[in-house]
Amino acid sequence: MPESSLKPDRQKTELVEGEDYYLEQGRYVFTESFLKKRGYCCQSGCRHCPYGFRKPVLPVKKD
């Protein structure tokens, strides 16, 4: 894709391991610092969410 067709509000940024994220059991975990830099809450229940969002806990069904 030519660079001119990229959306102007998207910047190319490289993530820095240890600063923006770390790996835990093969999964990326974003740091609070990175999430603040990103500037919005994605409402995915990120472990280090600086916006206070927590996924609701679903009740466990008892048989």
Pairwise CA distance, residues 23 & 7, whole Å: 29
Task: Report residue 13: phi and psi, to 5°.
Answer: -135, 140
Tell me the pTM. 0.66
Taking 50 as the threshold, does the pLDDT of residue 1 lie above it?
A: no
User: Of 8, 39, 10, whose CA–CA distance to 30 is shortest?
Assistant: 39
Q: What is the pLDDT of residue 11?
A: 62
Residues 3-54: tens digit of each pLDDT: 555 444 556 679 999 999 999 999 999 999 999 999 999 999 999 999 999 8
Residues 3-15: tens digit of each pLDDT: 555 444 556 679 9
User: Where are the chain's structural domains?
Assistant: 15-54
